[in-house]
Amino acid sequence: MTSLDFQSLLKQEKALQRVQLAQSTRTTAVQQEEEPGPTSSSSSRLSARRRDEESKVVGTKEPSPLLVKLAGRPSLDMEKMRVGNTPSIFYVPDFISGADEQQLLERIHAQASSNEWVTLRSRRLKCWGGQPGESFRPEPLPPWVDALCESLVVRGVFSEETRPNHVLLNEYQPGQGIMAHTDGPFYEPRTATLSLGSDAVMHFSPRIETSRIGRPGVETRPQASLVLRALSLVVFADDAYSRLLHSIDAVREETVGCGGSSGDVGKRGGGGVGGGAPVINGAAAGAPEGTILRRKLRVSLTFRRVRAADRGEETGGSGPEKNPAELLV
């Protein structure tokens, strides 16, 4: 065995041990979060407990095979995944494999008849983890959803302290989309979305106070677009989370970059017309300007952490205030 083989075996074994540990401590974690907080001291208690337990032999329960598989992948260097000159927008192509995607889609569609779905005009959705808001009470996630959250921590997308505890599933038929929005103040300013089943283009536009819209020099159109290939993960945080709006046009077909949406013109996701904004991850997504993308049934899973009730203030970026339009150039 070469030293490289040995290193990767060691990594896999460590990942497996973490998985077993995570599963055996999951109940404890949920109980701790139900205490007021999580304050920094409660989350450091949690990490300390994890560290203590890590030194013991753990795991009486078989870990989920999906989790073992996902967590066994190498951890990501998120800095290398940053796209364009953007503040904290990261794109990870092929975050999962096509086989993982199939497994996840089967699981999602196996539950399709359940009444947990909320149907909207432009998509349907399901959420796990509890009702975000002032009186948030975390609810346990289904094991396969929890497995995905764990894999995001193991692979370095979220820190242990910001482990996602809330997951949203959106399902879009071809021709459906999502209006320009921010994810709001109830979450920590970091969100990760896994795309399954179809490609789509996400547009980012400056968040403008309503009173300034329409004033000379105030730009509200999308300033950048990001191709979301199936299997990819997009992460945005901090200023990109709080000071930019994101949207997906409600179209059946779209042309990357210059041309904009080529089908169903006039049936946009709402709040913005994506076409024309420069694509900031064309190379990483293998989709140069002019690429035509046809939508299929798209399912996305969005992972976030609900903020502690005592810190439910508006999420703001750090550092000096910048015009949000400047964040993208």
Ligand X SMILES: O=C(O)CCC(=O)C(=O)O
Contact 309, 132 (CB under 8 A): no
Q: Based on CB atoms, which residue is closest to ligand X, 15 or 248? A: 248
Contact 56, 169 (CB under 8 A): no
- Give the range of 1-9, 27-35, 183-191, 212-220 binding Fe ion by CB under 5 A: 183-191
User: Applying CB under 6 A, does 193 fall inside the site for ligand X?
Assistant: yes
- CB 193, min distance to ligand X, A: 4
Cα–Cα distance for residue pair 3/223, rounded to 1 Å? 47
- CB 90, min distance to ligand X, A: 14
Cβ neighbours for 301, distance < 8 A, ≥ 6 positions apart:
104, 145, 148, 167, 168, 169, 193, 194, 196
Tell whether the torsion through CA atoms of 312, 318, 322 and 327 is positive or negative: negative
- What's the per-residue H, E or C state across 179-194? EEECCCCCECCEEEEE
User: Applying CB under 6 A, does 315 fall inside the site for ligand X?
Assistant: no
Angle in degrees, CA 34, 36, 37, rounded to 5: 95
User: Applying CB under 6 A, does 183 fall inside the site for ligand X?
Assistant: yes
Q: Based on CB atoms, which residue is closest to Fe ion, 71 or 95? A: 95
- CB 97, min distance to Fe ion, A: 25
246-to-144, 183, 240, 300 alpha-carbon distances in Å: 27, 9, 9, 14
Please give the residues from 152 up to 171 whose contact with ligand X meets the rule CB under 6 A: 168, 170
Please give the residues from 216 up to 235 whose contact with ligand X meets the rule CB under 6 A: 228
Which of 166, 203, 243, 246 lies at the binding interface for ligand X (CB under 6 A)? 246
- Give the range of 10-18, 92-100, 161-169, 178-186 binding Fe ion by CB under 5 A: 178-186
* DSSP strands (E only) in 150-239: 166-172, 178-181, 190-196, 200-206, 224-228, 233-237
Which of 100, 183, 199, 254 lies at the binding interface for Fe ion (CB under 5 A)? 183
- CB 96, min distance to ligand X, A: 15
- CB 122, min distance to ligand X, A: 11
68 C-beta neighbours (distance < 10 Å), count:
17
Q: Residue with CB nearest ligand X? A: 300
DSSP 266-320: T--SSS---TTSPBSSTTTTT--TT-EEE---EEEEEEE-BPPGGG-SPP--SSS
User: Applying CB under 6 A, does 302 fall inside the site for ligand X?
Assistant: yes
| Residues 244-273, mask of contacts with Fe ion (x by CB under 5 A) | ------------------------------
Judged by CB under 6 A, how many residues of this single chain contact ligand X?
A: 10
Which of ligand X, Fe ion, none sits in contact with 170, Cβ below 5 to 8 A by type?
ligand X
Q: Which residues bind Fe ion (CB under 5 A)?
A: 183
Q: Which residues bind ligand X (CB under 6 A)?
A: 168, 170, 178, 183, 193, 228, 246, 248, 300, 302
